[in-house]
Amino acid sequence: MSLYGMMRTGVSGMNAQANRLSATADNIANADTTGYKRASTAFSTLVMPNTGGAYNSGGITTTVRNSISAPGVLQYTTSVSDLAVNGNGFFVVQDPSGSPFLTRAGSFVPDGEGRLINAAGYQLMAYSYENGTPAATVNGFSGLVPVRISDQEMTAVPSTEGYFNGNLPSGAASVAAGDLPSTNSATAQYTNKSSLVAYDNLGNKVLLDVYFTKTSDNSWQVSVFDQSKATPGTSFPYAGGALGSVNLAFDAGTGKLTGAPDSVTFTVPGGASLDLDLSKLSQLGTGFTVTDGAVNGSAPGTIDKVQISGDGVIYAQYKDGSAKALYKIPLADVQSPDQLTVLAGNVYAQGTDSGAIKIGFANEGKAGTIVSGALENSNVDIAEELTDMIAAQRSYTANSKVFQTGSDLMDVLVNLKR
For residue 231, which of 185, 267, 269, 194 has the smallest C-alpha distance?
Answer: 185
Neighbours of 32 (CB within 10 A): 11
Q: How far is CA 355 from CA 237, 240, 364, in A?
A: 68, 62, 18
Asked, for residue 357, whether it belongs to a domain, the answer is: yes
Instruction: Output 134 or 151, whichever has higher pLDDT.
Output: 134
CA distances from 10 to 18, 24, 161 (A): 12, 21, 76
Counting Cβ atoms within 10 Å, is residue 133 exposed (0-12), middle (13-18) or buried (19+)? Answer: exposed
Q: Which band of pLDDT confidence, cut at 50, 70 and 90, is reported for residue 182?
A: very high
Please say whether the beta carbons of 193 and 214 come within 8 A: no
- Cβ-based neighbour number of residue 125 at 10 Å: 23
Alpha carbons 263 and 163: distance in angstroms, whole number: 8
Is 311 part of any domain? no
Domain count, the chain: 3
Q: How confident is the model at residue 112 (pLDDT cuts 50, 70, 90)?
A: confident
When comparing pLDDT for 327 and 410, which is higher? 327
Residue 4, pLDDT above cutoff 80: no
183 and 274 co-located in one domain? yes
Structural domain includes residue 315: no
The secondary structure element, H or E, covering residue 23 is helix 3-29
Query: Is the confidence at residue 12, as pLDDT, over 70?
Result: yes
Does residue 206 share a domain with residue 88? no
The sign of the dihedral angle between the CA atoms of 282, 284, 288, 292 is negative
pLDDT at 292 over 70: yes
pLDDT of residue 299: 83
Q: Read off the pLDDT band of 312 (50, 70, 90).
A: very high
Indicate if 118 and 236 belong to the same structural domain. no
pLDDT for 402? 87
CATH code for the domain of 282: 2.60.98.20
Judge if 42 and 126 occupy the same domain.
no
pTM greater than 0.95? no
Q: Are residues 331 and 389 in the same domain?
A: no
Pair 339, 388 in one domain? no
Closest CA to 210 of 181, 234, 232, 250: 181
Mean pLDDT, residues 146-152: 81
**132 — pLDDT class (breaks 50, 70, 90):** confident
Indicate whether 193 belongs to any domain: yes
How large is the angle between the packed helices 382-414 and 3-29, nearest 10 degrees?
160
Q: What's the mean pLDDT in 332-347?
A: 93
Distance CA 126, CA 149 (A): 12
pLDDT of residue 130: 86
CA distance 321 to 177: 42
Q: What is the mean pLDDT of the chain?
A: 91
Same domain for 235 and 215: yes
Residue 259 domain-assigned (yes or no): yes
Q: Say if residue 216 is in the same domain as residue 249.
A: yes
Owning domain of residue 39: 3-67+379-417
- Of the chain, the end-to-end C-alpha distance in Å amounts to 23
Measure the CA–CA gap between 178 and 331, rounded to whole angstroms.
60
Q: What percent of the chain has pLDDT over 90?
A: 70
pLDDT > 90? residue 324: no
Whether pLDDT at 322 is above 80: no
Quote the pLDDT of residue 319. Answer: 74
Q: Is residue 353 part of a domain?
A: yes
Do 292 and 178 sit in the same domain of this protein?
A: yes
Q: Is residue 289 part of a domain?
A: yes
pLDDT (0 to 100) of residue 153: 67
296 shares a domain with 161: yes
Instruction: With respect to residue 111, please indicate whether it lies within any of the assigned structural domains.
Output: yes
* Same domain, yes or no: 98 and 175: no
- Which of 6-20, 24-38, 44-58, 134-148 is most confident? 24-38
Give the pLDDT band (50/70/90) at residue 2: confident
| Region 354-374 average pLDDT | 91
Considering all CA atoms of the chain, what is the largest pairwise distance in Å, rounded to the nearest integer?
133
- The model's confidence at residue 253, banded by pLDDT at 50, 70 and 90, is very high
Preceding omega of 169 cis (within 30 degrees of 0): no
Are residues 95 and 125 part of one domain?
yes
The DSSP output letter for 256 is B
Give the containing element (helix H, strand E) for 10.
helix 3-29
Res 1: pLDDT: 52
pLDDT over threshold 90, residue 297: no
Is the pLDDT at 225 greater than 90? The verdict is yes
Q: Answer whether 90's CB lies under 8 Å from 104's CB.
A: yes
Question: Distance (Å, rounded) from C-alpha 139 to C-alpha 121?
Answer: 25
Predicted confidence at residue 99, as pLDDT, reads 94
pLDDT of 91 above 90: yes
- pLDDT value for 418: 63
Residue 348, helix vs strand vs coil: strand
Query: What is the per-residue pLDDT for 366?
Result: 86
Q: What is the mean pLDDT of residues 268-280?
A: 96
CA atoms within 13 A on the CB side of 408: 6
